Amino acid sequence: IDDQVSGFWSWLFVLSKLPELCDTIFVVLRKKPLIFLHWYHHITVLMYSWFSYMEFTSSARWFIVMNYFVHSMMYSYYAISAMGYRFPKSVSMFITASQLIQMLAGCFINYTTYSYLKSGGQQSCRVSQTNVTVSALMYFSYLLLFARFFYNAYFSKSKKLSKQH
């Protein structure tokens, strides 16, 4: 990455994916069900983050900013909840909706990047066709999984998933 500031924050982002795996450990230790979305998301983000950092992928900077923003809310929520405070359900719903919007934005960024590459912008856009393809598949799968989670947690008659968030 040419810009040292972007490089620094990108590197911290990649490193932040390792402690996020502790999230999974806490779920297991608390004897909560470990849903597919949880472990799939953590593993694939970790691998994609490393891949994108190694390629100096330009579109990943957008993903990093979105993820920092959503995770700052989400992990603040978890920390305060762990101290015993009970938020209204609308707060967890807002956070999950934010994650869903993040995935939708990720799909849009990938579409825009793909379109730019196809129009001949490869010389000025630091992203490979492989990276765009992997990222698009990843974000689309997240969009589907988060939409399903959101529906099951907040709108489905069976509220079995809402207790997991």
* Residues labelled as active-site residues: 41
22 neighbors 130 (Cβ within 8 angstroms) = no
Query: CA 99, CA 146: separation in Å to the nearest integer?
Result: 7
Pairwise CA distance, residues 64 & 77, whole Å: 20
**In one letter, which amino acid is 114?**
Y
Q: What is the dihedral angle through the alpha carbons of 151, 139, 47, 50, rounded to the nearest 10 degrees? A: -130
Kindly give, in sequence order, each residue whose CB lies less than 8 Å from that of residue 114, ignoring residues fewer than 6 positions away: 132, 136
- What is the Cα 6 distance to its own chain's centre? 19
The DSSP line for 106-147 is HHHHHHHHHHHHHTTGGGT----HHHHHHHHHHHHHHHHHHH
